[in-house]
Amino acid sequence: MAISTKYELKLGAATREAFGRTLAELGNKNKNVVVCDADLSKSTYTVFFQKEHPDRFIECGIAEANMVAIGSGLAAAGKIPFVSSFSAFVINKGFEQLRVTAAYPNVNLKVVGTHSGISIGEDGPSQMSIEDLSLACNLPGFTVLAPADEVSMAACIHLAAETFGPFFVRAGRAKAAIVYEPGTKFHVGGSHQLIDGKDIAIFANGLLVAEAIKAAEQLDAIGISARVIDLYSIKPIDREAITKAAEECGAIVVAEEHLKDTGIGTRVAQVVVETAPCVMEFVGLTNYAESGTPEAVLEKYGMTASVIVTAAKKALARKKK
């Protein structure tokens, strides 16, 4: 795909909407795809699937733990179940069920958590998941994906359906900037370098990929060459791209709409420490957020390009020592 440092970020659909549309299409191609939702189908957009395939839509009511285990039973009986709710509920309330009925027996369950991160805004912290990626990564055998835009979400849903084993795919509520051209390839364990650079590498996922692109442009304007990598596959993680970035740039910033202490940054750092130790800075959340417009919440809690720029400068200052 064509990448330039002058990126034109146009607002596209929310990744949850892309999930719903892709799922409905997938239902036409694969009759084994079934969908479970917990009274949030209009919000998770599984309603698109329900409209087209009502017989394969299984309403579970507001009982996420039960839904997860029903999904595991469907998977064990040969179906490809997608179970969906807000990340904050399906991962947290369903965690033990994910562990015992899906992860350790390695069943073909697909979990899609929508309304992830703090960008849901007004609904406030009880609905905001800021621990989901970490929890999902804690489940051995799970593949964990966090796509940035509608193109990558569609690809990730296809990957989940076509690859045997349990998956967690993270979706957001807010409209996401379009980063990818249609037809871009994605794979489990992959990443995409969106902008090349030599001074510092910025790893991001989800909404923060667009912010990382903006940050790279701001850094470019002051003579700093920043590489931007979308780490959409969080588990397995692209060790090669991380090691290469550490070796070639010697400084890394990881930016994520997730708790900083337990998120992707720690996973990137683990690779860096093992392969090519270098300076690192982390942009993420340190506590629960609050209600407000999505834009205001993201701004107040530091999920912005300018915070990434500051982190990059800090890393570069340490790199020079």
Partner 1 sequence: MTKTSNPAELAAIAKTVRRHIIEMITAAKSGHPGGSLSATEIVTTLFFDVMKHDPQNPSWAERDRFLMGKGHACPVLYSVMAQCGYTPVDKLNTFRHLGSIYQGHPDVRFIPALEASTGSLGQALSVGLGMAIAAKLDKSPSRTFVVLGDGEIQEGQIWEAAMAAAFHKADNLVAIVDWNKIQLDGFVQDIMPLEPLVEKWKSFGWHVIEIDGHNIEALQKAFAEAESAKGVPSVILANTIKGKGVSFMENNPKWHGTAPSKEESALALKELA
Residues near partner 1, by CB under 8 A: 34, 55-56, 58-61, 63, 65-66, 68-79, 81, 96-97, 99-101, 104-106
Q: Any idea which residues carry the catalytic annotation?
A: 64
Residue 271, SS3 per DSSP = helix
* Residues 6+ positions from 263 with CB-CB distance below 8 Å: 133, 134, 254, 256, 284
> 301: how many CB neighbours lie within 10 A of its CB?
23
Instruction: Name the pairing type of β-strands 143-145 and 233-235.
Output: antiparallel
**Residue among 69 and 139 whose Cβ is closer to partner 1:** 69
Query: Shortest gap between Cβ of 142 and partner 1 (angstroms)?
Result: 15
**Residue among 74 and 176 whose Cβ is closer to partner 1:** 74
Residue 113, SS3 per DSSP = strand
**Residue among 3 and 58 whose Cβ is closer to partner 1:** 58
Query: Shortest gap between Cβ of 58 and partner 1 (angstroms)?
Result: 6
Euclidean distance between CA atoms 58 and 77, whole angstroms? 15
Euclidean distance between CA atoms 309 and 211, whole angstroms? 10
> 225: how many CB neighbours lie within 10 A of its CB?
15
**Residue among 67 and 259 whose Cβ is closer to partner 1:** 67
